[in-house]
Chains A and B, each alone.
Chain A
Amino acid sequence: AQSVTQLDSQVPVFEEAPVELRCNYSSSVSVYLFWYVQYPNQGLQLLLKYLSGSTLVKGINGFEAEFNKSQTSFHLRKPSVHISDTAEYFCAVSPGAQGGSEKLVFGKGTKLTVNP
């Protein structure tokens, strides 16, 4: 079974500052890793994903994440945030290429608040 821990429930930051949202996972099998963003009263939007290959993954809106297998982490970063980045961010894992359902296991989320 897989599980995801998002280490910070809330992250306040000033506009144009860098931000890192932390995510650790546990799994006995290989996994795929995802970051989703949820704006108020909306569904989830995929920011980026790691399936294989380069451990540094670039996504939309200037976000990137680095897969670290030894530390079982997949932290999300942005060098300079905007007010519009204020949202809830979810880290998720799914089983790797073993077939079967694509069940996503989510963390509890990190609420990013960007202040002017």
Chain B
Amino acid sequence: ETGVTQSPTHLIKTRGQQVTLRCSSQSGHNTVSWYQQALGQGPQFIFQYYREEENGRGNFPPRFSGLQFPNYSSELNVNALELDDSALYLCASSLVVGLARNEQFFGPGTRLTVL
């Protein structure tokens, strides 16, 4: 069973640029969530996708957007990068069936540095 994978591992961008981060869900999972973890902080919920539609969003501006594909892999896009966007971005997948709450499995993250 393959776990959650993310690419790239590290990324350096400059202010104002755009970035796309990728996540492959664990096999059989239909839901993916993205979190931002700034240095020395706990992860903060960005948004969640369920069956290719956004299913909840945290307190992040619209320049943070996402996609979920039919194979349940996902992308996080950030436009007009700011210095404060520097963080570890974590992807987590889970299997949601009705109201049942199953464990979210986290990937190793992508470390984004904005200069």
Question: Which residues of A pack against B, CB within 8 Å?
Answer: 4, 6, 32, 36, 41-46, 49, 51, 90, 92, 94, 97-109
In the complex with contacts A90-B42, A101-B55, A44-B106 CB distance below 8 A:
yes
Question: What's the count of A-B pairs with C-beta under 8 Å?
Answer: 69
Name the one of A103, A107, A109 contacting B56, with C-beta atoms under 8 angstroms: A103
Asked whether any CB of chain A lies closer than 8 Å to the CB of B41, the reply is yes
Q: Given A43-B109, A102-B101, A108-B40, 11 other A-B contacts at CB below 8 A? A: A36-B106, A46-B103, A51-B101, A97-B99, A98-B99, A100-B56, A101-B55, A103-B33, A103-B48, A104-B45, A104-B104
Chain A residue with the shortest CB-CB distance to B31: A102
Name the one of B35, B96, B101 contacting A32, with C-beta atoms under 8 angstroms: B101
Chain A residue with the shortest CB-CB distance to B3: A43
Q: Are B42 and A99 in contact (CB under 8 A)?
A: no
In the complex with contacts A42-B108, A51-B101, A94-B101, A101-B90 CB distance below 8 A:
no
Number of interface residues of B (CB under 8 A): 28
Q: Are A49 and B103 in contact (CB under 8 A)?
A: yes
Q: In whole angstroms, what is the CA distance A37 to B43 when docked? A: 12
In B42-98, the 8 Å CB interface with A consists of: 42-45, 48, 50, 55-56, 58, 90, 92, 94, 96
Question: Which residues of B pack against A, CB within 8 Å?
Answer: 4, 31, 33, 35, 40-45, 48, 50, 55-56, 58, 90, 92, 94, 96, 99, 101, 103-109
Give every chain B residue within 8 A of A51 (Cβ-Cβ). Answer: 101
Give the interface centre of A32, A42, A103, A107 by most chain B CB atoms within 10 Å: A103
Q: Are B104 and A102 in contact (CB under 8 A)?
A: yes
Q: Are B103 and A45 in contact (CB under 8 A)?
A: no
Give every chain B residue within 8 A of A36 (Cβ-Cβ). Answer: 106
Name the one of A41, A101, A102, A104 contacting B43, with C-beta atoms under 8 angstroms: A104
Q: Are B106 and A97 in contact (CB under 8 A)?
A: no
In the complex with contacts A97-B101, A102-B33, A90-B108 CB distance below 8 A:
no
In the complex with contacts A90-B43, A97-B101, A44-B96 CB distance below 8 A:
no
Give the interface centre of A6, A51, A106 by most chain B CB atoms within 10 Å: A106
